[in-house]
Chain A
């Protein structure tokens, strides 16, 4: 396993523990959740094969599910995001393309580009997550409120962490 592979492996556990020990207990106004773990999928190297990406997404989602007692729910949403990530990256390639071996971070491509990249994917993740959990559209507006509140919370955390990360490359 290469050096960056080992770092990713450790980061996987950092994200899972942060999610399960801290963010699981941190719900603002009873409706804003922070699902930071999705940032792990968003920030994996750009060239990563989408098959591998989906498998990682599945394992990550499934691990989170164990702690949330929600078999398959987080895995479902995370696999969907992992599947769409690479095509979405290809669609919004900035002029001159991506640097080789880089990740899709704020530092590499700018804040505006990062918002275009991550907002739709995180929204999709939250959308699937909350509506599958509510098993239907019965509580449509209340669920939408939860989705938007959580989207803002998650996005703020993801972006803040990127500015705070020590190597200014990736967390």
Chain B
């Protein structure tokens, strides 16, 4: 995050006057904009969202279920919609929290990064643990490692299994696992960072980025994510170069686990990715170490105790809740959450109700069940700044799930690369796009727009062309027969498309345009294809709202 980005968020969300009255204005039912006869949204669906934790699932309309799945999964399917309708929103989350985890298999000696990329697509498209897939992917975009510098696919298999495992655990455990992961150790140079004290000095890479990107950001935040200001109206830095130096010293003395069958454990080990990094006290910096908020670790500390203390120093910083939660909200729900929304979720981060800090399961529930996440279930409550552009991978996979695609994952990475989001190949630790990218000429944040340019926007449309009219890879099949079966009647076809792709909220002008176009395409297959292409390539589909 850069200074004032949150300032600007404040400016833009001044316009979002969310309050409890919004909830109360949900009438008995409301008509969706699409003019479709079935777009009745029962108010009970939203009330179930508010009574998080109650056991009694209220009736959920297909549209509310579909919209919820756009945020909580890699895209609605008829089966998933039925599942959400049966379980209710909280019930669906509970099911997902305990759903068996899709794992990343161990690559063979001849495999390269495409092995992991394929598994990413397979898991996201077909995994039964959809929420875990979505959340762990979001975390992978906050705590970033990249195959641009790590060639070994095993590093990513282990990394992703770690993220998936920790996705519903505690933030504290996640940060420690990430810190001691050899994958991260290699990527940001904590591995073999030598605390010798003469001419060489500790590498500062991990120290700087764990603070700037993985935990607290550059400036002191309020609980609601807005920046604190000093008496002159300036933002207040969270740390200076002294803390970077201090954490750089803390992150010394760790090396890669010993390679089986290789040399005995030693510092300066070659990268080996299985298991956490190993501590070597002899290579740990002996100096005192400046941490955050005036904390100083005394000289000659124990390498493991100091690491734990330093990580707790970070985790307990009041910025972590708003800093991490705001980004998770942006990934799952909206680019421009109100301060109140951030504040509500950050409170849950600070205390899950049982006195536990950093409970990610509680955070994810709070994000997805928040009134601001749910207000769009009633189309009359949508605000102009709502939603977020689906990042390329999300756009691809949602489009594929809507046409029942089955894939081996091959070749999809090429499409993603053309859209500037090749899996596991973020150009830097700053992810594919920053959380604070501002739409030029507006006060709105739109992180994913940072990689929507004149090439990628066309590449996205052309992917849909290949998906619907051609092939996106030899190992991918689609099934559009339900749409073809409905295509005899244009209105029926549009209802089905609207439900599956636009949570039943296709705008009336879009609907009438499509109706006119589809009417001149007599063949049912061609008609269904045209409907799918036009909706999946549209901005109304690409922007989740």
* A and B part of one assembly: no
Q: Which residues on A are within 8 Å of B, measured CB to CB?
A: none
